[in-house]
Structure 1
Amino acid sequence: MRERVASIRTRVWSGIERAFAAEHTPHEIALSFAFGVFVVAMPTAGTALALFALVAYFVERASKLALVSTIVIFNPPVKWGVYGASFWLGSYILGPVPGVSVSDVSLDSGFDILFRQLLGNTILAVVMAVVGYVVVLQLTRMYKYREFSASELVPADD
């Protein structure tokens, strides 16, 4: 079991290093990640991967690994939490749906519920994308700085 975990950890770190070592600027990596977070956090009914494939094909500067990593981060249990928080936020902003309780949800209230869900989801997706951009930008800058500093310390072969 430990060997398997170690091999998975090695593959994950090598993937992260490949992503940072790719010919993308920290801004491009962070922007790709932020775009991915926004798309995956929205209720896209599983079409995010197809959209990411199109973006990766048509947008040369998009970081493919940064896009795909958002799918890994926003797995189904995480998305359930995001959707629950989205509905709560939408209901907090717009107020509860009139005449609807948890035990008595009907299709007549569908639009009101959906609107609250989408409003909260959009706000959360924007906030998470901005936070994701800042975090990934700082991580990639630190990684590239560390890589640059380490290469200066190695003596040149003369």
Structure 2
Amino acid sequence: MVRRRVAQTREQVKEKLVAALIEDHSPREVAVSFSVGVFLTALPTLGTGFLAFLVLAYLFKQLSKVALFASVLILNPPVKWGVYATSFWLGNQILGPVPGLSFDGVSVSMGSDVLVRLWTGNVVLAVVFAAVGYVLAFRLISEYRRRQGWTAEIS
């Protein structure tokens, strides 16, 4: 079941990336679109990230909608729990541990301290993911188009 799900996700990502590769956007525009999508998807937006995608796609015609939405396939809900755990850990490393937080005694009063650490770590991870996503998408698209013999802009 897990192998089938991984294979399906891999096929979906491949289809979306091929669609993005043949769009009428420059590799830079596709890479920026993908990295913006990765950044928003990495944040704990509680579902409002999709609305942000729609607004951005409407406002900025130079964004590749396919690349923007393809980022959702990379950071899907099962993966996000690992991102959240890593974000909280990273936030703790940056800001220090939440005073009094332990697995046997969690209090609602610690909520804001926990959220600040989660968001801090999450923003750092989102920036890193977006930067890596940009570089990988740009190289992939540029190489794909070069191999296909595209004569259009490659920057």
Gaps of 5+ in 1: 150-158
**Aligned partners of 2:149, 2:85: CA distance in 1, in Å?**
43
Relative to structure 1, the CA distance from residue 76 to residue 54 in structure 2 (aligned partners, 3 Å threshold; closer, same or farther) is same
Answer with 1 or 2: which has the greater Rg: 1
Runs of 4+ more than 3 Å apart = 11-15
- Distance (whole Å) between structure 2 residues aligned to residue 43 and residue 13 of structure 1: 25
What is the TM-score of this pair, normalised by structure 2? 0.85
Stretches of structure 2 lacking an aligned partner (at least 5 in a row): 1-6, 151-155
Deviation digits for residues 53-84 of structure 1 (CA, Å, limit 9, x no counterpart)? 12112211100111111111111111000000
Normalising by structure 1, report the TM-score.
0.84
Counterpart for residue 108 of structure 2: 107
Alignment of 1:17-96 (within 5 A): 17-96=18-97
- Residue 153 of structure 2 corresponds to none
Deviation at 1:94, TM superposition (A): 1.5
Distance in 1, matches of 2:60 and 2:36, equals 12
Contact 2:17 2:67 in 1 (8 A): no
Identity value in percent: 46
> In 1, are the aligned partners of 2:13 and 2:70 still within 8 Å (CA)?
no
What root-mean-square deviation, in Å, do the aligned CA atoms of Structure 1 and Structure 2 show?
Answer: 1.9
The total of aligned residue pairs comes to 143
